[in-house]
Amino acid sequence: MLDTWMAKSRWLRAAQWRAAGIVHQAGIPANGATAGAALIGVLAALLLACGLDGAGIAALWASAALDALDGAIARNFERPTALGGVLDLASDRAVEAAALLGVVWRRPTLDFAALTVLASWYVNITVFLAVGSAMGGEEKLIGYPPGLLERTEALVFFTLLIYAGGAGIWLCYAYAAMEILTAAQRLAFARRHLR
């Protein structure tokens, strides 16, 4: 939802293109930005696992900021490739999984609730990939079916989860429910558009 909203903002889009130009001029190609975002994301998970929550959250958001530039670099200065799309999708999921592990490492009371989030991700990403593949992609590897939760909401979830204390269990369950709702939205979207 937030990603879709931000993509419609001319101001944010212009800022993204300018930042992509700076990163490209620094000699970082699109796949390099993807790899850098993944490495920073894994570092964020390690920081979270070590109890360095502020640094971990900052690194997680830095990872997301760099990840937001890889596609812009490819479209503006290079050539988008299927491999780049695969690397981007895979690295995003790796960062999210690592971040969840990093948070739960120091919060074992979240174990089943976090497992519920992980299971809901599994269902939602399967629907996302299946619907997106069936729809076909233009600018991206696959079509991007809309839904309530997108990448930015995951970052907000992690940020809140770090500081939620005992309410973190209920936050996990609420987020998992929203993931399933998002999967249902994407299935409904597919039903309307794939007849």
pLDDT of residue 6: 72
Q: Which amino acid is at 142?
A: I
Domain extents in the chain: 2-193
Instruction: Give the distance, in angstroms, between the CA of residue 57 and the centroid of all CA atoms in the same chain.
Output: 14
With cut-offs at 50, 70 and 90, classify the pLDDT of residue 14.
confident
Over residues 44-57, the pLDDT tens digits come to 999 999 999 999 99
CATH number of 2-193: 1.20.120.1760
Which among 3, 110, 119 is positioned nearest to 48, based on CA atoms? 110
With a threshold of 0.85, does the pTM exceed it?
yes
Over residues 110-127, the pLDDT tens digits come to 999 999 999 999 999 999
- Mention every residue, 6+ apart, whose C-beta is less than 8 A from residue 44: 56, 57, 58, 59, 60, 62, 63, 95, 98, 99, 102
With cut-offs at 50, 70 and 90, classify the pLDDT of residue 134.
confident
> Is residue 164 over pLDDT 80?
yes
